[in-house]
Amino acid sequence: QVQLVESGGGLVQAGGSLRLSCAASGSISSIYAMGWYRQAPGKQRELVAIFFGGGGRNYADYVKGRFTISRDNAKNTVYLEMNSLLPEDTAVYYCYLRTSPLDNYWGQGTQVTVSS
């Protein structure tokens, strides 16, 4: 079974930075998409940034210019560099992996807390 291991979350002051990492392991024949979602208390999970298998990437409007997603294909690892963090960015950040049109996986989540 595929597993995703996230790291890098924590507490940071507004305006600060964090770098999240997500490493995928297991039987992975291909990566259709890999990236990050987040869920704040009382809200639905939402897309933050994602890579697609062909190399394209997409960002949520509220993080454009502040967050950068990158990946190491050889290591099946994706990163999210978060700069100029705002209290509104406080959420649990989940790594996401899609390996086929029907197979998707989620990490357990890492807490990001931004204090004002």
Q: pLDDT at position 20, please?
A: 98
Record the tokens describing residue 52, joined without a space: 């697609």
Residue 14 CB partners (closer than 8 Å, separation 6+): 85, 86, 87, 114, 115, 116
pLDDT by residue for the chain (116 residues), tens digit each? 899 999 999 999 999 999 999 999 998 989 999 999 999 999 999 999 999 988 899 999 999 899 999 999 888 999 999 999 999 999 999 999 999 999 999 999 999 999 99
Q: pLDDT at position 1, please?
A: 86
d(CA 34, CA 13) in angstroms, rounded, equals 28
Residue 31 CB partners (closer than 8 Å, separation 6+): 24, 51, 53, 73, 76, 97, 98, 99
**Residue 106 three-state SS:** strand
